[in-house]
Amino acid sequence: MKIAVLAGDGIGPEVTREAVRVLEALRLPDLVLMEGDVGGVATKRHGTPLPAETLEMARTCDAILFGAVGDPDCDHLDRHLRPEQAILGLRKELELFANLRPAKLFNGLEDASALRPEVASAIDLLIVRELNGDVYFGEKGIRTLPDGQRQGWDMMAYSESEVRRIAHVGFRAAQGRRGRLCSVDKANVLETSQVWRDVVTEVARDYPEVELSHMYVDNAAMQLVRNPGQFDVVVTGNLFGDILSDQASMCVGSIGLLASASLGEGSRGLYEPIHGSAPDIAGQGKANPMATILSAAMLLRHSLHLEDQASRIETAVAKALADGVRSGDLGGTMGTAAIGDAILERL
Ligand code: IPM
Ligand code: MG
């Protein structure tokens, strides 16, 4: 079982270190961890955010544990040299098209949510975000208009097959949960979304036991803070999923808690916290490693089929939170390593 550990930039190395400690504590036989450079660190060392050797390592591993990428020092570079291209490149090159982002309120965190406790405590949802298409991967550019102004443009597009395969993931996820799927789009304005909605509706015929609804993304953003308990599985495109998952994270207390799995057709996957590199607190040992530790649990579940070990980690995190273990993002004072220790003790 080979795992590529790609820690990346900012707080990436700090939070990844704690997740690696947790994986190692499980003493799994045959577990091999390999490290590779990605992001701004890789651009500085190798002149590219996703070096060929890192991509090759990722290809030959069973799973990838990813920290974060993003570095303000690189923001002036051409887009293909920016740290974010590392994660976009891995998702695309490995055809990891399905991003699972669960959000559930942990016991004891009712007061950490940006929402009222009685609203927040009902949250138990899964965002299924498409990851290989949309405006993220369309043609883009900056051109000069006849009047001399610059105009930035990005092409948004979804083909039927791209929508179909993510819709199946959404429906199957709903089958394994409470049987409800909400497809989020902007079909009242965008043709991309019209095709999305039509295809999701077609795929629904294969899943008569799943209750499908459609919602415009503006309404979904509103419903997510008004009554998030109404959602079971939400399936949506790359851009809307990016935005709604950050929003969902604050509904359950902190962006430092949300884990994610990026999957393709096989069992290889990439696992990362949904938060970024947080350059403002990088290197200070105060980032919350829980999202990365929970991502490691998802790795064990989805790529290595070690459900027991995955739930052991999740239970340890839940216990730590119930016992009042809190980093700064949750109003506490504990540092990254102390949180790691607290989870290891409970494991
Ligand atoms: C995420 C991140 C990435 C995205 C960035 C770092 C490119 O925000 O995983 O949500 O936009 O997908
Ligand atoms: Mg994001």
Spatial distance between the Cα atoms of 257 and 271, rounded to a whole number of angstroms: 13
Domain boundaries, given as residue ranges, for the chain:
1-100+259-347, 114-251
Instruction: Give the residue among 133, 43, 51 at the shortest CA–CA distance from 92.
Output: 133
Residue nearest to atom 9 of ligand 1 (CA): 274
Q: Do domains 1-100+259-347 and 114-251 have the same CATH topology?
A: yes
**Which atom of ligand 1 lies at the shortest distance from residue 88's CA?**
7
Rg of the chain on CA atoms, in Å: 20
**Which atom of ligand 1 lies at the shortest distance from residue 69's CA?**
6
Q: Which residues pair with 68 in a beta bridge?
A: 8
* pTM of the shown model: 0.96
Instruction: Give the residue among 20, 56, 62 at the shortest CA–CA distance from 37.
Output: 56
What string of pLDDT tens digits covers the 347 residues of the chain?
999 999 999 999 999 999 999 999 999 999 999 999 999 999 999 999 999 999 999 999 999 999 999 999 999 999 999 999 999 999 999 999 999 999 999 999 998 999 999 999 999 999 999 999 999 999 999 999 999 999 999 999 999 999 999 999 999 999 999 999 999 999 999 999 999 999 999 999 999 999 999 999 999 999 999 999 999 999 999 999 999 999 999 999 999 999 999 999 999 999 999 999 999 999 999 999 999 999 999 999 999 999 999 999 999 999 999 999 999 999 999 999 999 999 999 99
Residue nearest to atom 4 of ligand 1 (CA): 242
3-state secondary structure of 7: strand
Question: Taking the mean position of all CA atoms in its chain, how far away is CA 255?
Answer: 11
For tokens 């497809």, name the residue: 183
Q: What is the fold of 114-251?
A: Isopropylmalate Dehydrogenase (3.40.718)
Q: 84 CB less than 6 Å from ligand 1?
A: yes
Ligand nearest to the CA of 9: 1
Q: Which residues of 7-35 are buried (b: 16+ CB within 10 A; e: fewer)?
A: bbbbbbbbbbbbbbbbbeebeeeeeeeee
Catalytic residues: 136, 186, 218, 242, 246
- What's the CATH superfamily of 1-100+259-347? Isopropylmalate Dehydrogenase (3.40.718.10)
